[in-house]
Amino acid sequence: MRIIFAGFGTVGQALIKVLRQDEQRIVQAYGFRPQLTTIVDSQGSCFDEAGLNIPLVLKTKEKYGTVAKYPGSGRRNDDSTRIISDSDAEVVVETTPTNFKDGEPGLSNIKTALSTGKHVVTANKGPLALAMPALLELARHRNRRLCFSGTVGGGTPFLDFAAKCMPGERIARIKGILNGTTNYILTRMENSSLTFQKALAEAQKKGYAEKDPTNDVEGFDTAAKIVIIANWILAKSFSLRDVDITGISKITPRKLRAAQALGVKVKLIGRIEESSASVRPEEIRADDPTCVPDTLNALTFSTEHAGDITLIGPGAGGERTASAIVRDLVSIRKEYAV
């Protein structure tokens, strides 16, 4: 399987480390050897048909902040859509930063990849939050996979769990914590009396936050995940405009302590009801299974017959998201033997 990386930040770099570390296990278990032939980052690209030298790629990125300085094939200012369209790789892994205004550059990368016959694995929420139905339609039309496990829950398989493990069951409502950064901030503000800014700086340092952390703290990241879940699991046609969004930037340590004294916690909760969706700080009981600390995510599916089912797991971080991308690559390999 020949792979192009479009985007090479925290997630992309974690992914090649995971692929390298698990190479033997992946070859033995699934019979395929992912081969990274091209990387495009925000400043340039590098290429090797026989497979890029991973340690050298990582060293180059660390030293210069771009793969454009990769010895031999590194180039500055390349156009990612041209590279994707000219390549004969089978899969594009799209991890450019999420942009909720117009979805770019991820949206064009994904459209170009599918239109030129490549499968796509993405961890980028922007294109899906803005144009999920159209992108799924394009993938179906071209008979290619568009996989996005890493967009929701980091490595925790919320999407696959609901889509694959509950056939025949009706999911009436979904609620949960879907943003590791804000959950980390609220936990640190509550337990260690940190200011909002200090807790946010910690979350950024640990690589949980989006490139623009406004998307985390103002609730857009959670809202995008709610849109993806609503479309994929509940067959709704929601976009970001349909979600009523309030973030956590006005929450004070005092409010959190007052809630604590009453046995409740303030969490940024995403909800999907029959015909509405929201993201807002809510007080939830400390013993509610959805009430998880730190960067954990938790999603409760309220089903018609099986009752409430809650899935909990780490929801942010490069390695966690890389794990979801590996799952998607394996799933493409199983279906298409590329």
Known catalytic residue at 69: no
Count Cβ neighbours within 10 Å for each residue of 168-182 and write b for 16 or more, e otherwise. Answer: eeebeebbbbbbbbb
Q: Is omega for the bond preceding 253 within 30 degrees of 0, making it cis? A: no
**Is 216 near ligand HSE (CB under 6 A)?**
yes
Q: Are 329 and 22 in contact (CB under 8 A)?
A: no
Interacting stretch for ligand HSE, rule CB under 6 A, among 62-70, 82-90, 134-142, 173-181? 173-181
Interacting stretch for ligand HSE, rule CB under 6 A, among 59-67, 84-92, 141-149, 205-213? 205-213
The four Cα atoms 331, 335, 337, 338 give a dihedral, to 10 degrees, of -60
Among 148, 208, 220, 232, binds ligand HSE (CB under 6 A): 208
Residue 6 amino acid letter: A
Residues 143-162 that bind ligand HSE (CB under 6 A): 154
**Is 181 near ligand HSE (CB under 6 A)?**
yes
**CA-CA distance, 124 to 109, in Å (whole number)?**
11
Binding characters for ligand HSE, 300-329, by CB under 6 A (x = yes): ---------------xx-------------
C-alpha pair distances (Å), 125 with each of 107, 110, 152, 300: 10, 12, 8, 21
**Of residues 5 and 184, the one with the C-beta less far from ligand HSE:** 184
**Is 210 near ligand HSE (CB under 6 A)?**
yes
Interacting stretch for ligand HSE, rule CB under 6 A, among 191-199, 207-215, 260-268, 303-311? 207-215
Binding residues for ligand HSE, total number by CB under 6 A: 11
Q: Are 116 and 92 in contact (CB under 8 A)?
A: no
Q: Which is the catalytic residue, given 111, 225, 236, 265?
A: 225
Strand partners, 93: 5, 121
Report in angstroms how near the CB of residue 320 gets to ligand HSE at its nearest. Answer: 8
278: left (phi over 0), alpha (psi -120 to 50) or beta: beta
- Which residues belong to the active site? 225
Residues in contact with ligand HSE by the rule CB under 6 A: 154, 179-181, 208-210, 216, 221, 315-316
